[in-house]
Structure 1
Amino acid sequence: MSASAIFILDLKGKVLICRNYMGMLDMGEIDHFMPILMKREEEADVSPVAAHGATHFLWIKHSNLYLVALTKKNSNAALVYSFLYKIVETVKVFREYFKELEEESIRDNFVTVYELLDEVMDFGFPQTTDSKILQEYITQKGHKLEVGAPRPPATVTNAVSWRSEGIKYRKNEVFMDVIESVNLLVNANSSVLRSEIVGSIKLKVVLSGMPELRLGLNDKVLFEINGREKSKTVELEDVKFHQCVRLSRFENDRTISFIPPDGECELMSYRLNTTVKPLIWIESKIEKYSHSRVKIKVTARSQFKTRSTANNVAIMVPVPSDADSPKFKTSIGTAKWLPEKNVVQWNIKSFPGGKEHDMHAHFGLPSVEADQMEGKPPITVSFEIPYFTVSGIQVRYLKIIEKSGYRALPWVRYITQSGDYQLRTN
């Protein structure tokens, strides 16, 4: 059981829209919500669940709105909150129409929001919450709503609620992106304090019918099961899948089998808490001249194989807040001063592996003190390396199985990019 009713309120507690799903709740109960909330704020009580008699309020705040679920039953709180956040996500999908979920958009698009609330839940039970399926039910033209011929939600008639039947394409293709972000923190003594890899596999599916896909990775656990321990593998941690993946199959034999949604989705995400050799290493030296000038030398070294190239590298070097009169010299790329951020941004469009480059910056310091440079922010780096994964994960195969037997082309692309990538300097 989820919620008996859903309310959307403004910051003053005025009801903008509501939907009573079960008809067994006094809708006037919502009047008690804001007084309870204000009292809790005075008492610094941050609990997201409140009660008035037998009625429970489960709520979230988004932008200038409160989304409140009311129930008198012993409901699954995690399910209710998941549903509330799904409403926010679903409404935001209709971006051309709503722009953003806020008070004004609710007022302007009252009918559409009400139709959405009507489709996502039935008699207190969540139904179709997938935005792509909902867009087939509800379409907009200007401020006019058109609802197609009545039909039961896909979750009732079809086990695959995330994909419609009868999809047809002239050319069948699957595009897969394996994207890894490197989070790194290096201290002033050049020691790595934190390193991790956060990965995701994203799909763009252009396939007719109801195909089944099977994905094979160089997963360490799978290779150990099959007695292939000598092969190059990765040990995936904190793996999360899209709802389309058959979890029982993965738990039994590590096979990733699924009927994909149409269009774009994130198939899975994973994390590797492993020591990562910094892909781009930064060294910085600062020389001060009688408190009136400062010279900064930054050396960047790419520590990956020469056959790979980092694109759109941006190195952000902090400078004193009162620096002025900048002069730059770079062995590659361009440097510019961003006074509003107190940084020098060194841009390198293409940085091949195994290379080293320098950037020299001169600044005037009209009022700097001797300790002005101490405790400065770290250097941050952003970059993207195509055709490369730092973990070594590989797509061994991507099989497409469809009853009609059509041919389909799978495309796989690997990308490594910077996440939270920081290097502290003296």
Structure 2
Amino acid sequence: VCVSGSAGHSLQPPAQPQQQRHEVMRSRHQTVASGWWQQLHRCSLHGCGVCITRQLSDHLSSDNHVVFFLPAQVLICRNYKGDVDMAEIDHFMPLLMQHEEEGLVCPVMSHGKVHFMWIKHSNLYLVATTNKNSNASLVYSFLYKLVEVFTEYFKELEEESIQDNFVVVYELLDELMDFGFPQTTDSKILQEYITQEGTKLEVAKSKVPTTVTNAVSWRSEGIKYKKNEVFIDVIESINVLVNANGSVMSSDIVGSIKLKTMLSGMPELRLGLNDRVLFALTGRDKGKTVVMEDVKFHQCVRLSRFDSDRTISFIPPDGESELMSYRINTHVKPLIWIESVIEKFSHSRVEIMVKAKGQFKKQSVANNVEVRVPVPSDADSPKFKTSTGNAKYVPEKNMVVWTIKSFPGGKEFLMRAHFGLPSVENEELEGKPPITVKFEIPYFTVSGIQVRYMKIIEKSGYQALPWVRYITQSGDYQLRTNV
């Protein structure tokens, strides 16, 4: 892995891990890679008889080194197998700039026999190199996992955080992958024996971290809480695109079930959803059920149990985690409907009227609603009148933001905006951006999904309290208008 930045030289890697870590490394080579790598190990990369673990090595990191780049210099580079010359990475930025000039930028670029696969995060480039026919999807999964892990450690992944913590970065790179084998990729597990102070590594002298060799690698043993609780959040985001005629062109629901677990010991949890939920490819009649697609579970879920009887059974990670995510491809009625009218007077001023209507249950309330209305770039002298909430002009974004803190279901509100318009000749050239809406509705799911039960089983027999919260929020919520 290489990282580059504006500094005039690369940060050199620290010395190789000490002898006390060798026992950890050997044991980890004998375990199945943690997290999402478990799912990747189930798939054949080429359909041939080669060992899948070996294929994952050869086709994920293989001969590569992964790179962090700023547009000037390499910040950090780790060459895992030595099959690619370290100097090859110097060709990446000139190659990228050449492709940008030609308008041919693509995620995979080649120089001779070396291929560069890259992503950009903030002002950094993360680049993996290989000279083989690698599985690009696995390489990109690993690059995005690097971003996730480093963000967990340093809060902000940027040039300064890399330079200030380069020793920790190198240690993490060695733990995430060893000689081309993906290893522990869970940041919570990594934090057990790699800290920004580097002190926890001494524990490995006498004991291998239990999360590395334990079958339940995502949860440590010996966790204790005075009060045992588990908080469940069912969060659904609505994506809607409405055309200027008021017809819904596309819509879907993206949902997730998130946990905050504060439970002692090694409990087993069983989660039951209401009867409306139907997972894709079950073969049952859909009827009035909700069909979940693209379902993705946390590694803690027992997939064999789920495949047999649709029970979501798992030993949860400690603290916060995402148990599952899903998508529902269905027609969604816009929960907040927007109508807009524009009137022009003598080519010198314009009046915009916007009506917002809550199309959800009357007993529900949308919080922190923002209606963002585009206005001409040369508009000036704004004046507003609203039936509720506040409106303000944001000239740098050429929009009016109408904010309503509390929006009950079934209610209608109006906003009028007056602008001076010194020139209208360029009106057609500017285009007509859509109105966008942001909102959050607690205690409500648009799909009707509900948690029917949560059973907590632990050998000590303690009583635990499960808490459930439902939230529906806007995702990509756009309404095209004639404004």
Partner of 2:149: 90
For residue 176 of structure 1, give the secondary structure of its aligned residue in structure 2.
strand
Partner of 2:348: 292
Aligned length: 416
Partner of 1:422: 478
Equivalent-residue separation in structure 2 for 1:305 and 1:47 (angstroms): 45
Deviation at 1:240, TM superposition (A): 1.2
Kindly provide the CA deviation profile for residues 98-148 of structure 1, in whole angstroms up to 9, marking residues without a partner as x: x3243x43332222112212322334322211101111112234xx65524
For residue 236 of structure 1, give the secondary structure of its aligned residue in structure 2.
strand
Q: Could you tell me whether the CA contact under 8 Å between 1:138 and 1:148 is conserved in 2? A: no
TM-aligned CA distance change 1:45 to 1:323, over 3 Å: closer
Paired residues for 1:372-387 under 5 Å = 375-387=431-443
Does residue 48 (structure 1) correspond to residue 108 (structure 2)? The answer is: yes
For residue 240 of structure 2, give the secondary structure of its aligned residue in structure 1.
strand
For residue 151 of structure 2, give the secondary structure of its aligned residue in structure 1.
helix
Equivalent position amino acid for 1:414 in 2: Y
Equivalent-residue separation in structure 2 for 1:240 and 1:267 (angstroms): 8
Match among 411, 421, 431 for residue 365 of structure 1: 421
Equivalent position amino acid for 2:237 in 1: S
Partner of 2:20: none
Paired residues for 1:334-373 under 5 Å = 334-369=390-425, 371=427
Does residue 136 (structure 1) correspond to residue 195 (structure 2)? The answer is: no
Partner of 2:312: 256
Shifted more, 290-299 versus 372-381: the winner is 372-381
Match among 282, 290, 294 for residue 234 of structure 1: 290
TM-aligned CA distance change 1:105 to 1:362, over 3 Å: closer
TM-aligned CA distance change 1:84 to 1:284, over 3 Å: closer
Kindly provide the CA deviation profile for residues 47-73 of structure 1, in whole angstroms up to 9, marking residues without a partner as x: 6375876x8765555455554556688
Shifted more, 316-325 versus 56-65: the winner is 56-65
Partner of 1:221: 278
Equivalent position amino acid for 2:244 in 1: A
Equivalent-residue separation in structure 2 for 1:14 and 1:223 (angstroms): 48
Partner of 2:335: 279
Equivalent position amino acid for 1:147 in 2: L
Equivalent position amino acid for 1:32 in 2: E
TM-aligned CA distance change 1:320 to 1:162, over 3 Å: same
Does residue 399 (structure 1) correspond to residue 460 (structure 2)? The answer is: no
Deviation at 1:39, TM superposition (A): 5.3
Kindly provide the CA deviation profile for residues 292-335 of structure 1, in whole angstroms up to 9, marking residues without a partner as x: 12222211111111111111111111222222222221111111
Equivalent-residue separation in structure 1 for 2:142 and 2:119 (angstroms): 11
Give the TM-score taking structure 1 as reference length. Answer: 0.86
Equivalent position amino acid for 1:358 in 2: L
Shifted more, 64-73 versus 340-349: the winner is 64-73
Partner of 1:326: 382
Deviation at 1:279, TM superposition (A): 0.8
Does residue 168 (structure 1) correspond to residue 224 (structure 2)? The answer is: yes
CA RMSD of aligned residues (A): 3.2
Equivalent-residue separation in structure 2 for 1:138 and 1:172 (angstroms): 28
Match among 191, 201, 215 for residue 147 of structure 1: 201
Partner of 1:312: 368
Shifted more, 403-412 versus 58-67: the winner is 58-67
Shifted more, 345-354 versus 361-370: the winner is 361-370
Kindly provide the CA deviation profile for residues 261-306 of structure 1, in whole angstroms up to 9, marking residues without a partner as x: 1111111111111111111111111221111122222111111111
Equivalent-residue separation in structure 1 for 2:381 and 2:387 (angstroms): 21
Partner of 2:87: 31
For residue 139 of structure 1, give the secondary structure of its aligned residue in structure 2.
coil
For residue 338 of structure 2, give the secondary structure of its aligned residue in structure 1.
strand
Equivalent-residue separation in structure 1 for 2:306 and 2:436 (angstroms): 38
Q: Could you tell me whether the CA contact under 8 Å between 1:7 and 1:15 is conserved in 2? A: no
Gaps of 5+ in 2: 1-53
Kindly provide the CA deviation profile for residues 180-203 of structure 1, in whole angstroms up to 9, marking residues without a partner as x: 111111111111111111111111
TM-aligned CA distance change 1:114 to 1:400, over 3 Å: same
User: 1 or 2, which has the higher strand percentage?
Assistant: 1
Equivalent-residue separation in structure 2 for 1:95 and 1:349 (angstroms): 34
TM-aligned CA distance change 1:192 to 1:113, over 3 Å: same
Give me the identity figure in percent: 69
Shifted more, 233-242 versus 361-370: the winner is 361-370
Equivalent position amino acid for 2:434 in 1: P
Q: Could you tell me whether the CA contact under 8 Å between 1:48 and 1:60 is conserved in 2? A: no
Equivalent position amino acid for 1:200 in 2: S
Shifted more, 266-275 versus 211-220: the winner is 211-220
Does residue 204 (structure 1) correspond to residue 264 (structure 2)? The answer is: no
Q: Could you tell me whether the CA contact under 8 Å between 2:79 and 2:86 is conserved in 1? A: no
Shifted more, 300-309 versus 64-73: the winner is 64-73
Deviation at 1:6, TM superposition (A): 3.7
Kindly provide the CA deviation profile for residues 160-186 of structure 1, in whole angstroms up to 9, marking residues without a partner as x: 221111111111111111111111111
Equivalent-residue separation in structure 2 for 1:369 and 1:14 (angstroms): 47
Q: Could you tell me whether the CA contact under 8 Å between 2:293 and 2:326 is conserved in 1? A: yes
Equivalent-residue separation in structure 2 for 1:413 and 1:291 (angstroms): 51
Deviation at 1:156, TM superposition (A): 4.4
TM-aligned CA distance change 1:41 to 1:247, over 3 Å: farther
Q: Could you tell me whether the CA contact under 8 Å between 1:318 and 1:343 is conserved in 2? A: yes
Match among 204, 215, 237 for residue 181 of structure 1: 237
Q: Could you tell me whether the CA contact under 8 Å between 2:64 and 2:131 is conserved in 1? A: no
Equivalent-residue separation in structure 2 for 1:186 and 1:262 (angstroms): 41
Q: Could you tell me whether the CA contact under 8 Å between 2:92 and 2:116 is conserved in 1? A: no
Does residue 301 (structure 1) correspond to residue 361 (structure 2)? The answer is: no
Q: Could you tell me whether the CA contact under 8 Å between 1:128 and 1:155 is conserved in 2? A: no
Equivalent-residue separation in structure 1 for 2:181 and 2:77 (angstroms): 16
